[in-house]
Structure 1
Amino acid sequence: MAGVLILEDGTCFPGKVFGFRGNTQGEVVFNTGMVGYQEVITDPSYVGQIVVMTYPLIGNYGVNLEDNESSRPHVKGFIVRENCTYHNNWQADESLENFLATHKIVGLEGVDTRALTRHLRSRGTMKGVITTNSNLNKDELQGSAQCLVEQVTIKEIKHLPGTGPRLVAMDFGIKKSIITALQSKGFDIIQVPAGIGADEILSLMPQGIFLSNGPGDPKDVPQAIATIKALLGKLPICGICLGHQLLALAMGADTYKLKFGHRGVNHSVKDLLTNRVYITSQNHGYAVKEETLPSDVFISHRNLNDGTIEGIGHKYLPISSVQYHPEAAPGPEDSAYLFDHFYEMIKVGA
């Protein structure tokens, strides 16, 4: 069935619908990863987005039951140059097309994804719709302000027992792989909803606070910012991705929207404390504004592609955060050591 992606600026990219047959609308973003499409589709950070994969062949190893990053897909749509109709992998349980169809995710194949990506890079991220109606007017694209975190955060407190320090993980859309990485260090994890207050967190008697990844604009979660601000100086705090941005806002800095975001598994980041360079997995559309950082906050990591902030620390408090994903999934595991650093930070503060 013929389909088309219509962007809000009126540009059209024709293709063929696969997966679920229907229409869908969302923010159109691109991911440069060669592999990891299953993790991308099920990553809560992609809620509300139509994801374009820049690698030309997607679906060749199918989909399995082990690599989901959450209980269900979160993307609004999925665009590829070529959908591999014959998958071949010993772990595969079904094809990519069947997976999308089962979960009612609209896919579009046969798209010139290189041209589409170049368009998004030059014009910036924008809304779009995948439809079988090529006469759809761009003015029919509608978007409503909403807090995406509310759609993916846990609804009730959940205890994941461990033998190590007790850690409260504020869930803004946490990936399964992050939970797995924290459990591998032995943390006694209490996973809490994004809207929880500081007093309730402290009543759980944690030894550290972890701020998870998540979707959307960090300024759409003001209650979480207030909670984090109230916790500053009381416990060691570590943030990843959205958690990094929320921590920066809580300390008085500002954030801004990137033109087209960082989404992929090959982003070079320099650790300014060791001068080492790491290849990282990233998925974010916002960044911390450097000139707004308070004097007691320093930059610990920097992106080597565009110079944006990739990590911060505090001169006097046990606080650190990174913009990228040290747990990878998908991507390189160069930065997994950061979980060890956080563990040691908590042990020192205990």
Structure 2
Amino acid sequence: MPAIDDVSGRATPVLMQGICQTFGQTQVLKSLSLEVSAGETVALLGPSGCGKTTLLRLVAGLARPTGGRILIGNTTVVDAEGGAFVPPEGRKIGMVFQDYALWPHMSVARNVAFPLEMRGIGKSERESRVVEALELVGLAGLGDRAPGTLSGGQQQRVALARAIVARPPVILFDEPLSNLDRELRESLVVDIAALLRRLGMTALYVTHDHGEAFAIADRVAILRQGDLLQVAAPEDLVSRPATVDVASFLKLGVILDGQVEDGALVLGSQRRLRPPQGFLNGDRSGQLFLPRSALTAAAPQDGVLAAVARHSAFRGDGYSVQLELEEGSFLDLHSPQRVAQGEQVGLSVAWDRARWFPQVLL
């Protein structure tokens, strides 16, 4: 199978159709389909073992799926049924790994130049493109340094420069910032996002960090046990989670088990709530999702729900108060003033922001 067409410098879509991956008796990916538009950054977000890195490896050509096919641009790079398979070097993809994967015996410039050497680019053009790539990632003038003399953040910038120097059609990130401290991660993820948009590159970005995914991605794909739960823009995930699992994974608020009886919602404590007409789209048991934005602290006698303050922590612009609801769930809520431990708190509900998820009947 030939390599994909030369699309250097042009954003290219990626299409995954019905991707399955099985290791022994374990099904890691379950007929997963996802399309990444040209120039779009999609984050694959989920807990360890959900299949996100496996999917990235299949796109890179580091493994073959047991079912489905993948297209990069108009080229089928793998088809489990038809037998097509383009090896990694034929896909012309840039990759940034968690552990930098730099060669310690080579200078920074030599590390960055390596993809160009593999493509037979002449020395003069290689040197100019390496200088440009290092400038783009904020490492101008450090080409002669050894990777080991750089900080962790700088080494990851070298890896990023190496990934973009050939202007690949697609760039893949496998938890690239997980080895860095939080402050450095927050700074570098903003720089990476800005660079991808400046270059107009198509990117798949694997992470288990919500904030990282939301900061870098145009859309976020949430995976759980090999299934794709929801693909949406970060703001849509927060305001309109498709399932209880999505809301729970993103820690968007509190989720309470309930039962509908005579138009009322009965929670575990036998507290009966009266949501607006039409809110309870079903008359069976289910789960009530209350995002933080739907809850406001009130006097105990004025609240729809009852809670007890367990801890208050100052956050600069107020306090993060951990509340224990009488149903046994915990919730962190912002408060302009400290709430004493053990203090009774009422919670009012903005029902237009809440969601009722009826139990799915199989």
- Give TM class, smaller chain: under 0.3
TM-score using structure 2 length: 0.26
Higher CA-based Rg? 2
